[in-house]
Amino acid sequence: MLLPFFEWCEATMIGRTIRESLWMFPVLEAIHLVGLSLLGGALLVVDFRLLGVGLKDSTIAVLDRQARPWMLGATALMLGTGVLLFLSEAIKCYYNTSFWVKILTLPVAILFTLLVKERFARTAQETSTASRFVGATDLLLWFIVAAGGRWIGFS
Amino acid sequence: MINSFLEWLGSTAWSVRLLESLWMWPLLESTHVLAIALFVGSAMMMDLRLMGVTFGGVRASDFTSRLLPWTRGGFVVMVITGVLVWYSNPLRYYHNIFFRVKMLLMVAAGLNIWLFHSRTHKKIAQWDMDAPPPRAVRLAGILSFAAWTLIVVSGRLIAYNWFDCDIQPQPGWVNWASGCILPAE
């Protein structure tokens, strides 16, 4: 049912251009990885704090407010490069289990971060059972997204 | 001499087994990539703080004391997995231009860290909450951020054999930079 959509993606001008270029895919991958570094850092400092480790001298709310613009910017960078990478090999992705694990977990992770974690962290001060749960869930969701993403290239 | 040593290293049983493994190599590579989020990610957050770009309300010493152990832990994972991936095909990586660029950048990043810790960081109490931090601190942050960004990029590109010695002809400077030993004409 979804296959025609994936075929259409692969046939787009952008998808074709990237696929036929020698260097565009590798460069996009490299930028995608720089995005992973930034996103990982921005997520981890807050998640660690929610778990009660790392930058413990600051309150959760202060850290979260400072990290948020970088988290959002890095997410935008990853989505932008990710969509381009996908367009260049959409049909391969369609038949790739890791891709589906990643792409189905991604909206859950984004929604959890924006709707649950950010709302919670905005007003939270110190580590609590609730904050530990939020931090651990956020880490787990993004770990699945990242691991699934890396594994697309192996399967 | 280095070449014959690396050729021997690549022919050892564990190296061959690693290169041909169905799961081990991808697992090492994935751990290496995922640990980027922990190591480069936390280093970049520290760099942004040193640059004075963000985390204004957080003391710089908080980053260098409380976050740094995590950064170091991530670095250990990166080095172990990185060395093992290298060990799976040592000669090929040794002559890969992106690998060489990456190693040089790592030396540069290491020098920057050493300079920062042996000089600027010693007086951290004097600038812990300064906004913006002193020039030398901001410079250390910018250099570190740039170095790790380029290290991630060159690391990713090692996978591509565009400039490898067995792909010829190449411009003279590429063969020189990759240390290729070409058969005499």
Is any Cβ of chain A less than 8 angstroms from the Cβ of B164?
A: no
- Please give the average per-residue pLDDT across B55-73, as a whole number: 94
Mean pLDDT of the residues in chain B: 94
- Please give the average per-residue pLDDT across B54-69, as a whole number: 93
Cβ of A147 and B30 within 8 Å? yes
| Of A33, A58, A70, Cβ closest to residue B58 | A58
- Please give the average per-residue pLDDT across A9-23, as a whole number: 96
With CA atoms as reference, the chain A residue closest to B43 would be A41
pTM of the model: 0.95
Q: What is the pLDDT of residues A129-151, one digit of tens each?
A: 999 999 999 999 999 999 999 99
With CA atoms as reference, the chain A residue closest to B60 would be A55
Minimum distance, in Å, between the CA of residue A41 and any CA atom of chain B: 4
Does residue A96 surpass a pLDDT of 90? yes
pLDDT value, residue B57: 87
Q: What is the pLDDT of residues B163-177, one digit of tens each?
A: 999 888 999 999 999
B residues 28-87 closer than 8 Å to A (CB): 29-30, 33-34, 36-38, 40-45, 48, 54-59, 62-63, 66-67, 70
Does residue B183 surpass a pLDDT of 80? no
pLDDT value, residue B72: 97
Mean pLDDT of the residues in chain A: 96
Q: Which residues of A touch B160 (CB under 8 A)?
A: 26
Q: Which residues of A115-154 are buried (b: 16+ CB within 10 A; e: fewer)?
A: eebbebbeebeebeeebeebbebbbebbebbbbbbbbbbe
